[in-house]
Amino acid sequence: MRSFLNTAMDWFLQLTIEKTTYTLKVERLFINHQIEQIKITGEGVSIVLENNRPLIEDLELNKEISWKIIKGKLKNPDILKRLINLLEDSLKNKIQ
């Protein structure tokens, strides 16, 4: 069973778009046994994403993590997909 006492976690990601690299601040706002909320801020972007990673991991399901934007907007779905991939990779590294 996962402990949620120390839920705060901040880190930075670098996302390259058309030869320009952006540094984004990532902040975990909330986590419980079902969902996790992550805020991403950077040049021209401020969004909050929610996922079901804690539930999938706790139940040991072999399933993709479901993500949705709950605050803010991102115009390009391809950039959102790349950002989510970066987030998932960095979360795996932070937790292990």
Q: Domain containing 16: what range?
A: 9-95
Is the residue at 48 inside a domain?
Answer: yes
Q: Can you give the pTM of this predicted structure?
A: 0.88
Is the residue at 26 inside a domain?
Answer: yes
Model confidence pLDDT, tens digit, residues 10-68 = 999 999 989 999 999 999 999 999 999 999 999 889 999 999 999 999 999 999 999 99
Is the residue at 67 inside a domain?
Answer: yes
Is the residue at 3 inside a domain?
Answer: no
In the sheet that holds 67-71, the strands lie side by side as 9-17, 20-31, 36-42, 45-51, 67-71
Number of compact structural domains in the chain: 1
User: How far apart (Å, rounded) are the C-alpha atoms in residues 42 and 10?
Assistant: 13
Is the residue at 82 inside a domain?
Answer: yes
